[in-house]
Amino acid sequence: MGYPMAGHLSKNENIDLFVYNRSPDPLGNWLNKYKGTEFILNNSGDIEFDGFIVCLKDDAAIKDVLVNKMLISKLKNKAFIIDHSTTSLELISSINSVKEMSDKSISFYDAPISGGEAGAVNGTLSVMFGGPPEKITSIKKLMKSYSSSIVHIGPSGHGQLTKMVNQLCIAGLLQGLSEGMVFGRESKLNMSKVFDAISNGAAQSWQMNNRYKSMLRDEFNFGFAVDLMIKDLKIALNESKNNQLDLKISKEVLKNYQNLSDNGNGDLDTSSLIKIIK
């Protein structure tokens, strides 16, 4: 996701863009394709930054880069961090508790994204973010490089809570879509005609419009992976306990995704949920 997002940012002539990736090969490819400067952690000298935009796999990766590798120390006073990863609320508290964050008055924005790999490539991601009001105008200008929808939900943590809502909705939707598709296929229906008939009605969804053809072809190499959805659903379900909620459908979908992963399908995209339906 970060690869094409940074590519869009590189077209902004008003910023000096430095890029960093934990594995070197994608970084080399990116530098050959786009305009920017490699940030070398162990040889960065006196470079200080106005802000960081982060997009990583999970809580541990973010802590490793920002805290263990001390990137936070490279920020100027009153700088910002935009975190486009999907994380727990505990991660936000952990980052904000780092001494440099308060000493330098650094603003942290939890800004998870939705729209998949296609949204990142096309620059049409949806950003839902939480955080302080001080730098909202300036960070929105940056995020517009790769986003078509940017909504400040509220204070710190509200971006991640909104992403939890997003993932819970998608999980239940994909379960219903998978069951409907299998039912139609087993009933010997012409599924192309079925979706022509229902895709403009109440059953319509982004997942239906963008995934039904590949699902019917048993093709599941189109973006957000099962293992990442497992991580996201666990975060959301863990948070639901704090509200004394029993989200039965989401728990069942999580079991199905875990089944897929346990059988070697963790790298398939989330529409592979249909493989579980017998």
As annotated, the active-site residues are: 163
Distances (CA, A) of 45 to 17, 42, 48, 74, 217: 16, 8, 9, 10, 52
DSSP E strands: which ranges in the chain? 18-19, 37-38, 49-54, 75-83, 107-110, 113-114, 125-130, 147-154
Q: What is the chain's alpha carbon radius of gyration, rounded to the nearest angstrom? A: 20
Q: How far apart are CA 230 and CA 215, in angstroms?
A: 19
Please, what is the angle between helix 248-260 and helix 158-186, to 10°?
Answer: 70
**CB neighbours of residue 226 within 10 Å:** 24
